[in-house]
Amino acid sequence: MVADPIISVRDLRKSYGTFEVLRGLSFDVARGERIAILGPSGSGKSTLIRCFNRIEPHDSGTLHIDGTVVDARCDLARLRAEVGIVFQNYNLFPHLSAVENCMLAPRLVRGMTRHAARDGAMRRLAQVGIAEQAAKYPIQLSGGQQQRVAIARALCMDPRVVLFDEPTAALDPEAVAGVAAIIDALARDGITTLCVTHEMGFARRIADRIVFMDDGQIMEIAPPETFFTSAVTERARAFLARMV
């Protein structure tokens, strides 16, 4: 499907008890590609991306990320340094300031000195445009600012892939545009991004390809211009009709 893919998924399955959330998914993602994952609530979008850094272990099927097999025996610390994630409600550490949030993993996982970790964290905070908020605690920051800190925190581990779980759910339009600009910048640096979202305009703006999921399966994969104008499947068309 894609030459030299950074992510390769084959027949991925996962169940919670008797309920099958992921029902045999297969697709590839190219290096530096920007993917938006669309689909109705409960279609398994968040579960899918959480399998990529194994905070949700999959049950069967194979998953390769940058040549490494993701399974029960893989080096989790290495995998999670490679694959960063930004959560829907950010999950910043409330007892640490913005810069300390970004320093924690580099110090503990990479063994960096406090000084080096702080330099790296400040660079990333500047990259997402909130260096001046570095000393503030999460409770003092707006939703958009917290989102940026969460992105900076993920970038501090120098990931090759960044997963976004509903990054725009709680943001005003201006902040949404900011997140889109950040994702563009990441792509220019060769970082692959996968973004679960509900927002059609945002998906169209940031995605090289749209992955449309329903009922634990991939229904359609297409570039945004194709997907939004002439979706092939009945379900995708029904979904788009509901959303517009």
Partner 1 sequence: MSIRSLFPPGRLRTVFLPAVLLFGLMTGTHARADPSSGLVHDGVLDVCTNPTLPPMTFVPGADASDLAGVDIDVARAVAQAWGARMVLHSMDFVGLFPSLESGRCAIVISGVTRQPARERLFDAVSYLPTALVVVARAGTRPIGSLADLSGQMVVTQSGTSYAARLERENAALAAQGRAPIRIQQYPAEEQVVQQVLLGRAFAFVSQDVELGFRARQLHGKVAVILQPQDDNYRSFALYIRKNPTDRAALQAAIDHLDQTGALRAIADKWHIRAATALTQDLSTPPRFDVRAFALALLSVGFARAALVTLAIALLSHATAIALSMPMALALNRPGGVVRRAVGLYVALFRAVPTLLQLLFVWNALPQFFPVFRGDWFSPFLAAWIALSLNEAAYQVEINRAALGAIDPGQLVAGEALGLTRFEVYRHVLFPQALRVALPPTINEFINLLKTTSLASVISLQELMALTQIHVARTFEFTEYYAVALVYYVAMVCVLLLTQKRVERRFHWADRVKAGAHGG
- Of 69, 108, 185, 243, which lies in the binding site for partner 1, with binding defined by CB under 8 A? 108
The rounded Cα 54 to chain-centroid distance in angstroms is: 13
Under 8 Å between Cβ of 157 and 84 = yes
- Of 29, 48, 81, 151, which lies in the binding site for partner 1, with binding defined by CB under 8 A? 81
Compute φ and ψ for 29, nearest 5 degrees: -130, 130
Half-sphere exposure of 234 (CA within 13 A, CB side): 0
**Could you give the CA distance from residue 99 to residue 236 in angstroms, rounded to a whole number?**
42
What CA–CA distances, in Å, run from 54 to 37, 47, 81, 125, 130? Answer: 18, 10, 12, 26, 30
Question: Where do we find the tokens 């779980």?
Answer: 165
Using the rule CB under 8 A, give the single segment among 11-19, 105-113, 116-124, 222-230 that binds partner 1.
105-113
- Of 155, 157, 162, 175, which lies in the binding site for partner 1, with binding defined by CB under 8 A? 157
Nearer to partner 1, 72 or 139 (CB): 139
Residue 145 CB contacts under 8 Å (≥ 6 apart), including other chains: 130, 133
Using the rule CB under 8 A, give the single segment among 18-26, 30-38, 78-86, 204-212 that binds partner 1.
78-86
For position 105 contacting partner 1 by CB under 8 A, the verdict is yes
Using the rule CB under 8 A, give the single segment among 32-40, 95-103, 206-214, 226-234 that binds partner 1.
95-103
- Of 73, 95, 115, 188, which lies in the binding site for partner 1, with binding defined by CB under 8 A? 95
Binding site for partner 1 (CB under 8 A): 53, 55, 76-81, 84-85, 87, 89, 91-97, 104-105, 108-109, 135-140, 153-154, 157
